[in-house]
Amino acid sequence: MIARDDLRAMLDAIPDERLPDAREALARLTDPVLLAFLNAPLDDEPLTEEDLAAIAEGEADIARGDIIPWEEYDPERPDRP
């Protein structure tokens, strides 16, 4: 197990201009939401026939080019999904 003193020594060795990168990396390791996702069990439920049909429908939409780019999506427009 790495002791906190070892981590402190590594932190002290980081050049000042790289400290924002180190802070960002450490923030990810302590983010409770990210940790919950990382520690969550895999979804191992089998896909239902309904799931498979929805996936096939989406793939067919993509193949036809019948999609709306996310940047153009507007939930207020009833003529567009």
Rounded to an integer, what is the distance from CA 6 to the centroid of its chain?
30
Residue 68 lies in a domain: no
Confidence check: pLDDT of 81 > 60: no
pTM metric for this prediction: 0.41
List all residues 6 or more positions away from 74 whose beta carbon is below 8 Å from its beta carbon: 80
Residue 51 lies in a domain: no
Residue 53 lies in a domain: no
Q: pLDDT digit string (tens) for 36-72?
A: 988 899 888 999 999 999 999 999 999 999 888 888 8
Residue 30 lies in a domain: yes
Residue 17 lies in a domain: yes
Structural domains counted in the chain: 1
Residue 76 lies in a domain: no
Residue 72 lies in a domain: no
List all residues 6 or more positions away from 80 whose beta carbon is below 8 Å from its beta carbon: 68, 73, 74
